[in-house]
Amino acid sequence: MFKRIKATETPRVSFSFEGQPIEASTGDTVASALMLSGQTHFRNTPISQSERGPFCMMGVCFECLVEIDGIPNRQACMIPVREGMVVRRQKGAIGVETE
Amino acid sequence: MSYDTIVVGGGLVGAAIARGLCKLGEKVLVLDEGDVAFRASRGNFGLVWVQSKGDGMPEYARWSRHSADVWPEFSQDLLEETGIDTAYHKAGGAHLCLSEEAWERQSALIKRMHNVHGAAEYGAVMIERKELDTMLPGLGPDVVGASWSPHDGHASPLYLLRALHDSIARSGGEYRAEARVEGIAKEGSGYRVTTRAGSFSGAKVVLAAGLGNRSLGPLVGLEVPVFPQKGQILVTERTEMKFSMPTLFVRQTDEGSFLLGDSHEDAGFDLTSRPGIMADIATRAIRSFPFLKNLRLIRSWAALRVMSPDGFPIYQQSESHPGVFSVNCHSGVTLAGAHARTLAPMIARGRLEEPMSAFSRKRLHVQAH
Ligand SMILES: Cc1cc2nc3c(=O)[nH]c(=O)nc-3n(C[C@H](O)[C@H](O)[C@H](O)COP(=O)(O)OP(=O)(O)OC[C@H]3O[C@@H](n4cnc5c(N)ncnc54)[C@H](O)[C@@H]3O)c2cc1C
Ligand code: FES
């Protein structure tokens, strides 16, 4: 669905999304790398569980939330990819330990 | 084209009154400035709060309580009419005490309020830590206890505002944005209101422009001594539902975010979020509920309360311009029910009946001397 306007010369990095390996270029955000690889379902909303993906790509809409290296609710459009990152869908509201 | 009432200001106060007037069959026009105005209704904390209201003015204590009493039906009516849920929950509300002194102060307040209302009527109680642990999860070691009232609750102020506007439109009321009022003149037995978007005629005029009332009042012989008091709010990411009731400084919304708030600053017309106050708000919230420290903040903002010199509402009708009213309060969410259901009918009848005289601006002169 999405294509790079121009091939980049920057070094390749690889990370995983839901256990699948994804190839990206250094400097890509997690959101752009995922969308370039055909992924658009980033999260399920806390209330209706509906499927969502990036909308604004500039940090204001919070539609692109994913879990990165175990930390939930990260904005994929604001975070550059790093080698070996483990990215998962944000599945609804997070749990909290109150004890 | 002439209206029964022109309401100046489309925030929670103006919209609640306009909705009430529409329901009585009046032909209503709401004139609103725009996003450049200071708009407390879009930046508040969303409590429907009674327990601490009216210390020093029993009429205000009873008026707030009256509003909390009508809120369930008010909210249900809005839902049935518009399909918009205000997310109102009358779950009771807790004011946490973070030290023995705070507990003593709060106990004294609750006792004074009992004397105002009569204990049976008032209903707020002091709750010790052990019992509080069964009501709210994850309390920090500094929490001594809380005052708690069954009449308190919370709602989404934005859904409330939307529901009110939707109801106004459905009942034939008109709304104009970008219509800052710049002049009000007598015209026959009514008034001609001039705005940037044209001028309009109405038999009655209600000034509900929040902080804007200060400069509008003198146009119609009213003094409206309101001033801005800044409050900042922090919002966390959404989590599973943990809270079954709101507290004064921390509440969880229906969507699962925690709102942290209750700062008070005299900073003039300044809307910047400032780190010092944000840190204070976060620190107090974390002392109350240490688990909050693991959550990410996703938003923060500042908004201006519409304060009167003694903190109580100001409702008045002009003597030189009969049929022109001004309405201001600093708890427009709490009082939305009373404004729509009780104050609006008085305005429709053209008289602020008892106990409204207590809220006249004249009381302030008495206290000033
Ligand atoms: C941080 C904070 C927390 C709060 N928490 C709570 C709470 O928990 N519970 C509660 O009950 N209350 C709370 N409040 C108070 C509540 O938000 C206000 O009482 C309420 O919003 C006031 O509504 P209003 O319609 O009078 O004012 P506003 O919302 O300011 O609306 C005034 C309107 O008038 C318009 N206007 C101004 N000048 C003109 C003009 N010349 N011509 C035409 N239109 C004009 C503006 O565009 C605006 O829309 C809080 C307030 C703040 C700031
Ligand atoms: S896409 Fe809008 S915040 Fe990331």
Question: pLDDT, tens digit, for every residue of B146-200?
Answer: 999 999 999 999 999 999 999 999 999 999 999 999 999 999 999 999 999 999 9
pLDDT, position A9:
80
- CA dihedral sign of residues B8, B14, B15, B18: negative
> Across the interface, do A97 and B137 touch by the CB < 8 Å criterion?
no
CATH of domain B2-79+157-226+311-368: 3.50.50.60
- Condensed to tens digits (0 to 9), the pLDDT of residues B227-246 reads 999 999 999 999 999 999 99
- CA dihedral sign of residues B96, B130, B106, B243: positive
pLDDT, position B12:
98
Cα–Cα distance, B20 to B325 (Å, whole number): 15
> Across the interface, do A98 and B298 touch by the CB < 8 Å criterion?
no
Cα–Cα distance, B3 to A88 (Å, whole number): 58
Q: Report which of B222, B316, B211, B228 is spatially closest to residue B269, judged by C-alpha positions.
A: B228
For residue B369, what pLDDT band results from cuts at 50, 70 and 90?
very low
- CA dihedral sign of residues B31, B37, B42, B45: negative
Q: What is the mean pLDDT of residues A74-94?
A: 97
Q: Report which of B209, B220, B214, B212 is spatially closest to residue B187, judged by C-alpha positions.
A: B220
> Across the interface, do B240 and A72 touch by the CB < 8 Å criterion?
no
For B291, which of A62, A93, A97 is closest by C-beta distance? Answer: A97
ipTM of the complex: 0.85
Instruction: List Cα–Cα distances, B26 to B22, B167, B190, B349, in angstroms.
Output: 5, 13, 15, 11
**Omega before residue B355 within 30° of 0, cis:** yes
Question: Around Cβ B95, how many Cβ atoms within 10 Å?
Answer: 24
> Rounded to two decimals, what is the model's pTM?
0.94
**DSSP label at B89?**
B
Is residue B365 scored above 80 in pLDDT?
no
> Across the interface, do A96 and B256 touch by the CB < 8 Å criterion?
no
Residue A50, helix vs strand vs coil: coil
Is residue B273 scored above 60 in pLDDT?
yes
For residue A99, is it within any domain? no
Q: What is the CATH number of the domain that holds A34?
A: 3.10.20.440
> Which residues from B are below 8 Å from A97, CB to CB?
291
A53: left (phi over 0), alpha (psi -120 to 50) or beta: beta
- CA dihedral sign of residues B241, B244, B248, B254: positive
- Antiparallel, parallel or unpaired: β A65-68 and A71-75: antiparallel
> Which residues from A are below 8 Å from B137, CB to CB?
98
Percent of chain B with pLDDT over 70: 98
Residue B315, helix vs strand vs coil: strand
Query: Is the C-beta atom of B217 inside 6 A of ligand 1?
Result: no
pLDDT, position B122:
80
Residues of A with CB under 8 A from a CB of B: 46-47, 62, 72-73, 93-99
Query: Is the C-beta atom of A29 inside 6 A of ligand 2?
Result: no
For residue A87, is it within any domain? yes
Cα–Cα distance, B202 to B217 (Å, whole number): 17
Query: Is the C-beta atom of B222 inside 6 A of ligand 1?
Result: no
> Across the interface, do B240 and A93 touch by the CB < 8 Å criterion?
yes
- CA dihedral sign of residues B95, B59, B326, B72: positive
> Across the interface, do B239 and A94 touch by the CB < 8 Å criterion?
yes
CA distance A69 to chain B (A): 15
B299 touching chain A per CB within 8 A: no
Domain chopping of chain B, boundaries: 2-79+157-226+311-368, 93-150, 227-307
- How close is the Cα of B269 to the center of ligand 1, in Å? 13
Ligand 2 atom at minimum distance from A78 CA: 4
- Condensed to tens digits (0 to 9), the pLDDT of residues A10-66 reads 889 999 999 999 999 999 999 999 999 999 999 999 989 999 999 999 999 999 999
For residue B56, what pLDDT band results from cuts at 50, 70 and 90?
confident
Instruction: Name, in order, each residue with C-beta under 8 angstroms of A5's C-beta and a sequence gap of 6 or more.
Output: none
Ligand nearest to the backbone CA of A43:
2
For residue A38, what are its two tokens? 């055909």
Query: Is the C-beta atom of A54 inside 6 A of ligand 2?
Result: yes
pLDDT, position B79:
98
Element containing residue B252 per DSSP (H, E):
strand B250-252
For residue A61, is it within any domain? yes
For residue A68, is it within any domain? yes
Strands (DSSP E) contained in B91-226 are 93-97, 125-128, 145-149, 153-154, 174-176, 181-187, 190-195, 198-207
CA distance B133 to chain A (A): 11
Q: Report which of B126, B125, B164 is spatially closest to residue B42, judged by C-alpha positions.
A: B164
Expressed as residue numbers, the domain containing A67 is: 12-91
For residue B343, what pLDDT band results from cuts at 50, 70 and 90?
very high
Cα–Cα distance, B303 to A16 (Å, whole number): 42
For residue B120, what pLDDT band results from cuts at 50, 70 and 90?
low
- How close is the Cα of A97 to the center of ligand 2, in Å? 27
Q: Report which of A2, A60, A73, A82 is spatially closest to residue A35, judged by C-alpha positions.
A: A2
Which of B239, B255, B291, B297 is the mutation pick for testing A, counting most A CBs within 10 A? B239
Query: Is the C-beta atom of A2 inside 6 A of ligand 2?
Result: no
Query: Is the C-beta atom of A59 inside 6 A of ligand 2?
Result: yes
pLDDT, position A11:
87
Is residue B24 scored above 60 in pLDDT?
yes
A56: left (phi over 0), alpha (psi -120 to 50) or beta: alpha
B138 touching chain A per CB within 8 A: yes
For residue A32, is it within any domain? yes
Cα–Cα distance, B349 to A33 (Å, whole number): 64
pLDDT, position B368:
40
pLDDT, position B1:
67
For residue A44, is it within any domain? yes
| Average pLDDT over all residues of chain A | 94
Number of structural domains in chain A: 1
Architecture of domain B227-307: 2-Layer Sandwich (3.30)
Query: Is the C-beta atom of A74 inside 6 A of ligand 2?
Result: no
For residue A36, is it within any domain? yes
Q: What is the mean pLDDT of residues B325-344?
A: 98
Q: By alpha-carbon position, which residue is closest to atom 3 of ligand 2?
A: A59
Closest B-chain CA to A75? B298
> Which residues from A are below 8 Å from B237, CB to CB?
72-73, 94
Query: Is the C-beta atom of B277 inside 6 A of ligand 1?
Result: no
For residue A4, is it within any domain? no
CA distance A35 to chain B (A): 24
Q: What is the mean pLDDT of residues B34-52?
A: 91
Closest B-chain CA to A61? B298
Query: Is the C-beta atom of B78 inside 6 A of ligand 1?
Result: no
> Which residues from B are below 8 Å from A95, CB to CB?
239-240
